[in-house]
Amino acid sequence: MTAINKTVTPAEGDIFITRIFDAPRQLVFNAWVDVEHLKNWYAPEGCSINFEHINVKNGGTFHSVIRTPTGYVCWCTGTYMEVTPFERIIFTMTNADEQGRPLTAEDAGKDPEWPVETIVTLTFEEIEAGKTKFTLHQTASQEVAKRTGAYQGWEQMLDNLAVLVEQ
C-alpha cells in the first residue's frame, strides 16, 4: 500500500522538538512501530496508555487512551498517512471518545484552542554510527501546547523513549 498523499507544511508557531538519541536509527524507529515498545514509553510520566487497536502501516489506524493518575482520560484516534521504514512516520491525531468518534477540544476536556485534529511528522536521521537525530513536528500551536502541558507530555515521553533505546 502506498502512502496517503498529503503534504504537511510547517506553520510558524507549530510544535517542533528535536532530540539526539544515543541509539541506532532502526532501534528508535522500531520503538514507534512496535506496540509492545509503545506501551512502555508512549505516555507522560505517571500515566498509562492502552491501545484499543493499532496498525502501524500506510493507511493503518489507531485508537488509544492515556489515563492520568488523577483519573483524567484522553482518547485519541488517528491514521498513519506515511510509514517509511527508518526514515519517517506521518500520522493524524484526533480528539475522540471511547468509541473513536471525533470530539471538539472542549468536549474532550482540552483547551478550546487545541485543534480537533493535528498531523504529527516524525523523522529519523542517522547522524553517525549509533546516533539518531529525531525530529517531531505537530500541527498545533507550541504556545497552546506549553500552556496545556501537551508539549511537556511530548518531552516526558521522549525522555521515556531515550531510557528504552539508550540501554
- Rounded to an integer, the average pLDDT of 46-60 is 97
Per-residue confidence (pLDDT) for residue 1, from 0 to 100: 41
pLDDT-derived band of residue 9, with 50, 70 and 90 as boundaries?
low
CATH number of the structural domain spanning residue 36: 3.30.530.20
- Asked whether residue 67 is assigned to any structural domain, the reply reads yes
- Asked whether residue 12 is assigned to any structural domain, the reply reads no
**3 has a pLDDT exceeding 50:** no
pLDDT single digits (tens) 65-82: 999 999 999 999 999 999
Owning domain of residue 127? 17-165
- Asked whether residue 131 is assigned to any structural domain, the reply reads yes
Per-residue confidence (pLDDT) for residue 4, from 0 to 100: 44
Per-residue confidence (pLDDT) for residue 12, from 0 to 100: 72
CA end-to-end distance (rounded Å), the chain: 34
How many other CB atoms are found less than 10 A from the CB of residue 68? 14
pLDDT single digits (tens) 22-31: 999 999 999 9
**Burial 22-55, CB ≥16 within 10 A → b, else e:** ebbbebbbebbbeeebbeebbbbeebebeeeebe
- Rounded to an integer, the average pLDDT of 86-107 is 96
- Asked whether residue 10 is assigned to any structural domain, the reply reads no
